[in-house]
A and B are shown apart, each in its own frame.
Chain A
Amino acid sequence: MRRRPRAKASVLAEGEPMIWLTAGGLTVAILMIAGLLALVTVQGLATLWPVPLTRIRLANGVQHMGEVARSELFRPPAAFWPSLAPEAERRARDEAAGQDGRLRRRLIRIGNFEITGEHFQWVNDFEVVAEEQPEWAIVVERMSWGRFYGIPIAFVEDGRRVAETPQAAWELFRRHHGEVAARRARRRRLETREIGAINAALESARLALRAAEQRNGADAPATQARRRAYEAAEVRGSNEYARVRAEIAALDAANARYRMVFRTAGDRETTLDLAAVVRAYPANQLRWIDRLGIYASRWTEFLTAEPREANSEGGVFPAIFGTVLMTLIMSFAVAPLGVMAALYLREYAKAGAAVSAVRIAVNNLAGVPSIVFGVFGLGFFCYLIGARLDELFFAARLPNPTFGKGGLLWASMTLALLTLPVVIVATEEALSAVPNSMREGSYACGAGKWQTIRRIVLPRAMPGILTGMILAMARGAGEVAPLMLVGAVKLAPELPLDSVFPYLHPERSFMHLGFHIYDLGFQSQNSEAAKPMVFTTTLLLMALIFALNVAAVRLRSRLRRKFVSAAF
């Protein structure tokens, strides 16, 4: 009998190339993810690390002092060479010959914007004649105008120069800066909180008057009473205001006693008020532990303070706060809605064309571009519902909109809509994963449908539902595009949660980490200074979302241990 010839275990049968292909796909994916994470992490962590100050003298006699931001090789265009002096050209050609025709240049953060008109300066290596790290070079972070670099030459107290050496001036600075900063913080509190409260009281009296006018007419007795109350409030307010102003003036006067004189890289003497200094340190004398201290203090400021300098300096606390608050409100809105919708779809609706259509629609909703949700939110929530609310409850404030514009509440609602499909799909899956034997057991005990759902199905599905919820929260926290339309702003003057009744102000605009990243990266005037902050803010947002996901995984495994048997 002739045997059928059999193929040897061929390459195709084993699928060796497929193994390599699939492994290759995975590798590329991992590399991309790991690369992105590594880039953001390294850059984000490096941003706040204090680096030394370098003073550079160029061949043309110009001096720069600042922090080296980065260095690169560049290929000079043809028109570059004729513009150089012969001596410089020779040196440049020498350098380029060793580097494949390219030249090295460094970007120096030179600061002192009010003097130089620049924040950064490119310096070509071949132009450098001398380079050093001066012992007493000081980095000064200021309330405005960006960073300042200089060497202290004197300390001024009450208009008199009391120290004439860098060391003595620096000693005095360290002695007085703490109290000055405390006074500045107190002044800021007075400005925001106390004056804010005065304004709020006056505004509420004014609104009460306007409401009375609209309701009763201008001459009714009730209106007259309101008018008198308003006038009284006005008097009270201006008295209060004068008192606060006086206190602020006293603080200012106390702070104005201390100033410090610096010599800049351009050999100019400049005097800085101590009150304008946020933080200063002698960058070239720092030990490792000092650097760590400055690093920690900058991180603390980053996480807890308000932004300065068009968001490129200072902290992102309002953005963190806004993101978290918005995500929470969104969750409270989307959780009941999504779970109820999924319950009806899975437990009550009769399977058929209608249910399939709804399910397809829900899945399609997940694919709608998020900006479309933003447009919808603006049109529906702000301009339709919000405007109607204003007419009904806040008529006295019109034409200034209260709810009829973007705000925390509408942003949360828009994102709730956006994340609804995630919650519905996850909940449906969780519900369908509840074994039928559980339901049957409950029915056999004489339980009704709702009793079975509430006591058996929902607890058992809870891990899955929560997982879906937290995925939705992560999605919502990372979303930016719709927020630009419905309430996220570059700089919010007030937090949406404060000590003024009713404490939570859902109509206020708010700051958001995602929008903050966009604003820093693309809207900033000092984009070179803002760029590192983009990485740091991204790192923070990613850490936030990562924390949410870790919480999701841990919660799920804990609930699973509780509700799902290991035996079956």
Chain B
Amino acid sequence: MHSTTHLEAGPRGDTVREEATDRLARIAAGESVPTVTHPEIEQEPIVLETRDFCLHYGPKQALFDINVKVARGKVTALIGPSGCGKSTLIRSVNRINDLLSTVHIRGDMLLAGESIYAPGVDVIGLRKRMGMVFQKPNPFPMSIYENVVYPLRIDGERNRRVLDEVCERSLRGAALWEEVKDRLQDNALSLSGGQQQRLCIARAIAAEPEILLMDEPCSALDPIATTKIENLIEQLKGDYSILIVTHNMQQAARTSDYTAFMYLGHLLEFGRTETIFQTPRLIETQDYVTGRFG
């Protein structure tokens, strides 16, 4: 049942390498393989954890017994080749996947110790505690100002002072304030792609979320905009707990504290980012982070 294996903590560099088994072939054949979880995460305060989380799209299983933890105030990156279930996992955290009628899940997730998938959970209330940034910038067809304060508007906030304050704080938080402060009433769609994505980040942090979910936030952006977003993630770290899906290995290495490597719906290895990138336990992880497959 419990598929997580805790390894003995050893001195850096001389951790026991798991023997090179044919894990990838076993996964492809439908077998379950245990996750290698490094022990450092146990020392961290946890904001989100998944417990044996499985997800099916209709008859097809997309996630297999995922056990991952997100440390408070840290950045956790989900990496893995296309189709490994990174996006599915992050979209399950705020139950956006519920909108698809074919999705079934097993297992549970806990946000600050409270169940996300228990029956009777107030999904809308739950989503208000999280912020999410999507692959493609999706500003709403309204002004920059209204985009940022949207989470407050839907809560019925009318006080102009509160809204103004949140707008400025969020835009400053998303490093966009200086660029747009003089045209807050302009249509958000008039911004460039990178600005739009930072606007979406501002919107996501406007309601002070407990966790910020980022689903490949830079994949639709040019390199300069990407750099800006990465710097932004660096700044947000500490104030916000961030779970980020990325395709870009350097990005994961640069921005994250913890990294989870997924493959075909299985979580293979999870630990501190330096460890995953420099001395992973699994040969598959090493192969992936060094670009030998995926």
Contacts and interface: CB of A to CB of B under 8 A. Distances in A.
Given A350-B101, A440-B134, A446 B128 contact: yes
B141 A445 contact: no
Contact of B203 (A350, A445, A456): A445
B242 to A, nearest CB: 15
B153 interface: yes
A467 to B, nearest CB: 16
B200 interface: yes
A446 B154 contact: yes
Give the most central of A445, A460, A563: most B CB within 10 Å: A445
A499 interface: no
B127 A440 contact: no
Give the most central of A350, A563, A565: most B CB within 10 Å: A565
B253 interface: no
Interface stretch (A307-315, A328-336, A447-455): A447-455
Contact of B200 (A435, A441, A443, A566): A441
Contacts of B132: 441, 444
Interface in B24-58: none
B140 A446 contact: no
Nearest to A437: B138
B228 interface: no
Contacts of A442: 140, 150
Contacts of B128: 445-446
B140 A444 contact: no
Nearest to A456: B140
Contacts of B193: 567-568
Interface residues on B, range: 35 or more
Interface string B112-148: 0000000000001101101110101111111000000
B189 A438 contact: no
Given A562-B187, A567-B193, A446 B151 contact: yes
A566 B154 contact: no
A401 interface: no
Secondary structure of the B contact surface, majority rule: mixed
Nearest to A563: B141
Given A455-B153, A459-B142, A562-B187, A446 B134 contact: no
Contacts of B131: 444-445
A564 B94 CA distance: 27
Contacts of B96: 440, 443-444
B141 A441 contact: no
Interface residues on A, range: 20 to 34
Contacts of B127: 443-446
A447 B130 contact: no
A350 B196 CA distance: 33
A459 B151 CA distance: 17
Nearest to B91: A440
A433 B243 CA distance: 30
A565 to B, nearest CB: 4
B141 A568 contact: no
A445 B189 contact: no
B20 interface: no
Nearest to A449: B124
Contacts of A562: 141, 187
B207 interface: yes
A313 B153 CA distance: 60
B199 to A, nearest CB: 11
A154 B164 CA distance: 85
Contacts of A435: 138
Contacts of B224: none
Nearest to B136: A437
Give the most central of B150, B193, B213: most A CB within 10 Å: B150
A567 B191 CA distance: 9
Interface string B85-103: 0000000001010010100
Nearest to A447: B154
Contacts of A565: 139, 189, 196
A446 B192 contact: no
Interface in B233-283: none
A446 B141 contact: no
Contacts of B137: 568
Contact of B154 (A350, A440, A455, A568): A455
B189 A566 contact: yes
Contacts of B187: 562
Contacts of B196: 565, 567
A353 B200 CA distance: 38
B158 to A, nearest CB: 15
A451 B130 CA distance: 18
Contact of A445 (B101, B125, B142, B151): B151
Contacts of B141: 438, 456, 459-460, 562-564
Nearest to B192: A567
A131 B200 CA distance: 84
Contacts of A438: 138, 140-141
A60 to B, nearest CB: 79
A69 B248 CA distance: 82
A567 B94 CA distance: 28
A19 to B, nearest CB: 39
B129 to A, nearest CB: 8
A54 B50 CA distance: 99
A440 B99 contact: yes
A567 B192 CA distance: 7
A445 B192 contact: no
Nearest to A565: B189
Contacts of A445: 127-128, 131, 150-151, 154, 203-204, 207
B189 to A, nearest CB: 4
Interface in A412-449: 435, 437-448
Contacts of B155: 446
Interface string B68-89: 0000000000000000000000
B3 to A, nearest CB: 30
Contacts of B207: 445-446
Contacts of A440: 96, 99, 134, 138
Given A438-B138, A440-B96, A567 B151 contact: no
Given A438-B140, A440-B134, A445-B151, 19 more contacts: A435-B138, A437-B136, A440-B96, A440-B99, A441-B132, A441-B200, A441-B203, A442-B150, A443-B99, A444-B213, A445-B128, A445-B131, A445-B150, A446-B155, A447-B151, A448-B124, A451-B154, A456-B140, A459-B142
5 contacts: A442-B150, A443-B127, A444-B134, A564-B189, A567-B193
The 3 closest A-B pairs by CB, nearest first: A446-B128, A444-B132, A563-B141
Interface of A: 350, 435, 437-448, 451, 455-456, 459-460, 562-568
Interface of B: 94, 96, 99, 101, 124-125, 127-128, 130-132, 134, 136-142, 150-151, 153-155, 187, 189, 192-193, 196, 200, 203-204, 207, 213, 220
